[in-house]
């Protein structure tokens, strides 16, 4: 979908703020090194004076001056690195800092929009999808096997392994994932893990709950002033590197939903664009609720992973409630 001028300016301001923030941080690092690393400031000053001296020699006809300068600067750079490491700092401590090294926080690399710019556009346009909030709590750094036992644990471990393989081979191996099973067993969590990892790898990811996706499509299709956005939205849904449809089955299922779902799954399959779908429905319920061709698309083109076990959200809620009760009891005891 197209950006408004305000949205574009918002993204550009974000890049400018990143540049200012990183420039300020680098200045703080330089000041720290000059103050704490004896001899570093002098080496920096010598670089300028040596460059000027060799430049004059070159202008005076010394053809070896530039080669000599390269050798001198190489030795000085090595000396500076030794000083840094001797004080417990990495050799690249004073290198320029960027949130995105590919575009150096400009938004453009080799004259085209950087992957980070494309993801910012997606996140801004589909902010209602909640992908930022999801990735803050649902990522591999918070993954735990503690809530699973026996066969439930084995199923979850297999699904985690599949997600990591999916991420590792994403650019070279077209795959789709389908998570199904009981409520609260980690299906959305695993989708969030994959989303975060791929975005960090430079892929474009759109996340939607099924209800949110079909509501957005319906709103654009049946509201005259938004019809011009519908084509762009289809382009994003069909063309992003990864589409995640979460909680399939929670939407109001009708012929419109079935048609849109099939079109989305089919177009992405034809273009070899990966999709992740999660649902609380069983495979039998999925087949009953949607058309045979949708079920066929999923069963034929997706790796299916069933997750079972306790509702982790409820387990955490009860644990939090028990912890709060215990805290209150201790507080009451301490005050008596």
In a shared domain, residues 191 and 241? yes
**pLDDT per position as a tens digit, 280-315:** 999 999 999 998 999 999 999 999 999 999 888 788
Assigned token pair, 147? 């809530």
- Domain with residue 158: its CATH number is 3.40.50.300
User: Does a structural domain hold residue 327?
Assistant: no
In a shared domain, residues 281 and 137? yes
Instruction: Give the C-alpha distances (Å, rounded to integers) separating 70 from 45, 53, 54, 61, 177.
Output: 16, 13, 10, 17, 53
In a shared domain, residues 173 and 40? no
**How many whole angstroms separate alpha carbon 213 and alpha carbon 222?**
14
Q: Tell me: pLDDT of 215 over 90.
A: no
Question: How far is C-alpha 9 from the geometric centre of its chain's CA atoms?
Answer: 22
Assigned token pair, 302? 């997706």
User: Does a structural domain hold residue 336?
Assistant: no
Helix axes 40-59, 65-86, angle to 10 degrees: 180
At 123 the pLDDT is 73
**pLDDT per position as a tens digit, 27-60:** 999 999 999 999 999 998 998 899 999 889 889 8
For the chain, percent of residues with pLDDT exceeding 90: 55
Q: Tell me: pLDDT of 1 over 50.
A: no
| Least confident residue range of 49-53, 174-178, 221-225 | 221-225
Nearest residue to 307 (alpha-carbon basis) of 130, 148, 91:
148
In a shared domain, residues 192 and 277? yes
At 9 the pLDDT is 84
Q: Tell me: pLDDT of 2 over 60.
A: no
Tell me the mean pLDDT in the region 170-189. Answer: 94
Q: Tell me: pLDDT of 320 over 70.
A: no
At 137 the pLDDT is 72
**How many whole angstroms separate alpha carbon 5 and alpha carbon 277?**
33
In a shared domain, residues 52 and 130? no
How many CB atoms neighbour CB 331 within 10 A? 10
In a shared domain, residues 146 and 82? no
pLDDT band, very low/low/confident/very high, at 201 (cuts 50, 70, 90): confident
E strands, 235-290, where? 242-248, 274-279
**pLDDT per position as a tens digit, 61-113:** 988 889 989 999 999 999 999 999 999 999 999 999 999 999 999 999 988 88
- Residue with the two structure tokens 């080669």: 67
User: Does a structural domain hold residue 213?
Assistant: yes
Q: Tell me: pLDDT of 148 over 50.
A: yes
Tell me the mean pLDDT in the region 129-145. Answer: 76
At 122 the pLDDT is 76
Q: Tell me: pLDDT of 132 over 80.
A: no
Of residues 137 and 224, more confidently modeled: 137
In a shared domain, residues 130 and 82? no
In a shared domain, residues 78 and 205? no
Instruction: Give the C-alpha distances (Å, rounded to integers) separating 300 from 39, 210, 248, 292.
Output: 66, 21, 18, 12
Question: How far is C-alpha 208 from the geometric centre of its chain's CA atoms?
Answer: 15
User: Does a structural domain hold residue 96?
Assistant: no
Kindly provide the b/e burial profile for residues 211-224, where b requires at least 16 CB atoms within 10 angstroms of the residue's own CB.
Answer: bbbbebbbebeeee
In a shared domain, residues 284 and 159? yes
What is the maximal distance between C-alpha atoms in the chain? 92
Report the predicted TM-score, pTM, of the whole model to 2 decimal places: 0.66
User: Does a structural domain hold residue 38?
Assistant: yes
In a shared domain, residues 285 and 139? yes
In a shared domain, residues 136 and 82? no
User: Does a structural domain hold residue 226?
Assistant: yes
Kindly provide the b/e burial profile for residues 98-109, where b requires at least 16 CB atoms within 10 angstroms of the residue's own CB.
Answer: eebeebbbbbeb
What mean pLDDT value characterizes the chain? 87
Range of the domain at 68: 5-86
User: Does a structural domain hold residue 215?
Assistant: yes
At 240 the pLDDT is 87
The sign one gets for the Cα dihedral 248, 252, 254, 257 is: negative
In a shared domain, residues 69 and 132? no
User: Does a structural domain hold residue 97?
Assistant: no
Q: Which residues pair with 303 in a beta bridge?
A: 177
**How many whole angstroms separate alpha carbon 177 and alpha carbon 184?**
18
């Amino acid at each position: 979908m197209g950006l408004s001028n305000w949205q574009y300016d918002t993204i550009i301001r974000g890049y400018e703020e990143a540049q200012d923030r990183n420039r300020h941080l680098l200045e703080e690092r330089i000041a720290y090194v000059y103050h704490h690393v004896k001899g570093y400031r002098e080496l920096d000053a010598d670089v300028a004076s040596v460059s000027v001296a060799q430049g004059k020699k070159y202008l005076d006809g010394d053809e070896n001056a530039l080669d000599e300068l390269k050798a001198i600067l190489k030795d000085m750079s090595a000396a500076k690195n030794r000083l840094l490491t001797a004080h417990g700092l990495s050799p690249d401590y004073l290198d320029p800092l960027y949130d995105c090294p590919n575009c150096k926080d400009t938004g453009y690399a080799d004259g085209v929009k950087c992957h980070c710019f494309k993801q910012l556009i997606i996140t801004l346009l589909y902010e209602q999808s909640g992908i930022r909030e999801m990735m803050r709590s649902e990522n591999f750094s918070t993954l735990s096997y503690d809530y699973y036992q026996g066969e439930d644990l084995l199923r979850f471990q297999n699904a985690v392994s599949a997600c990591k393989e999916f991420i590792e081979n994403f650019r070279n191996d077209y795959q789709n994932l389908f998570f199904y099973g009981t409520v609260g067993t980690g299906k959305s969590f695993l989708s969030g893990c994959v989303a975060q990892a791929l975005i960090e790898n430079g892929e474009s990811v759109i996340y939607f709950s099924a209800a949110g996706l079909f509501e957005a499509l319906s709103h654009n299709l049946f509201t005259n002033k938004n019809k011009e956005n519908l084509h762009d939205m289809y382009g994003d849904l069909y063309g992003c590197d990864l589409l995640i449809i979460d909680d399939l089955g929670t939407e109001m299922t009708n012929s419109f939903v079935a048609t849109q779902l099939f079109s989305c799954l089919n177009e992405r399959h034809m273009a070899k664009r990966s999709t992740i779908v999660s649902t609380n429905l069983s495979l039998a319920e999925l087949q009953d609720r949607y058309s045979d061709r949708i079920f066929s698309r999923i069963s034929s083109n997706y790796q299916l992973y069933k997750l079972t076990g306790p509702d982790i959200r409820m387990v955490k809620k009860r644990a939090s409630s028990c912890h709060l009760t215990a805290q209150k009891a201790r507080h009451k005891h301490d005050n008596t």
